[in-house]
Amino acid sequence: MAERRKKMSRDDPGPDFLALDSREIRQTIREKVYARLRKAIVEGYFAPGERLIQDKLAEQLGVSRSPVREAIRRLESEGLVEVAPVRGVTVINMPLDEAVGLYDLREVLEGLAARLAARNISSNQLSELRDCVKRMEELLPPKTTPHRWVEENSRFHEIIVQASRNRKLTELLPVLRESIGVLCRAIESNPGRVAEAMREHEAILAAIAAGDAEEAERLGRLHIVHSKNAVLARLRGETRASQWPTGR
């Protein structure tokens, strides 16, 4: 018995076993800062072209400038921010032709996901989708902030692609949505588009629930076309404003 207790004592790692050392703590902070900033950009919290002040970000995050600088370098390598000598750090401002290309691709893939979901969705996933639409209705601006509605909107599309049971779609669409995420402010700032998108979600849900694959695909593609048009209208307006002569 004494030998067993002795063996257990030798194997016991002690109370400090799970404690992080200083290097691990720094690494954890760097990863958290990077993840938080990346999420803010891809979900549209920062608008395209918006300037990011590193001192202000460090203050908001409650950290030193060092992990913020490292996060900025990583985000620049991913093409999410631009760093210029005079202007500093800005969120990537996507060219019109690139935005059109991404939305055209997303239209096809989201339509396919809706078609496959109408055939393959489980009862649990259908219940999740219904609950998601209900929450979106409750979160419609001005009931709450537009950002919360956009988060639930992302969840709506995630459930559909999971229900498609197509592994490649589950790999490709999240990446594509992240690329387009920096344009979300164009939808958030348009209450009419948010209300329209809500009606489109309800129609897509009805088609999927009815098992109507063709209608689900048609509505899924139309939904992305309407979102693309809202984003392009915003981008074209900003482009014209930036090119407007200042006069003398």
Q: What are 60-100's pLDDT values in tens digits?
A: 988 899 999 999 999 998 878 999 988 899 998 777 888 88
Residue with tokens 């985000």: 75
Which of 127, 107, 106, 125 shows the shortest CA–CA distance to 117? 125
For the stretch 122-173, pLDDT in tens is 999 999 999 999 999 998 877 777 777 888 888 999 999 999 999 999 999 9
Same CATH topology for 23-91 and 96-243?
Answer: no
What pairs with residue 83 in β-bridges? Answer: 89
- What does the alpha-carbon distance between residue 70 and residue 243 come to, in Å, rounded to a whole number? 34
- What does the alpha-carbon distance between residue 155 and residue 173 come to, in Å, rounded to a whole number? 12
pLDDT at 205: 98
Annotated domain spans of the chain: 23-91, 96-243
Q: Which CATH class is domain 96-243?
A: mainly alpha
Assign domain 23-91 to its CATH architecture: Orthogonal Bundle (1.10)
Please check the confidence at residue 28 and state whether its pLDDT lies above 60: yes
Residue 247: what are its φ and ψ, rounded to 5°?
A: 80, 175
Q: How confident is the model at residue 17 (pLDDT cuts 50, 70, 90)?
A: very low
Please check the confidence at residue 106 and state whether its pLDDT lies above 50: yes
Of the chain, the percentage scoring pLDDT greater than 70 comes to: 79
Distance of CA 223 to the CA centre of its chain: 17
Does the predicted model carry a pTM greater than 0.95?
no
pLDDT at 178: 78
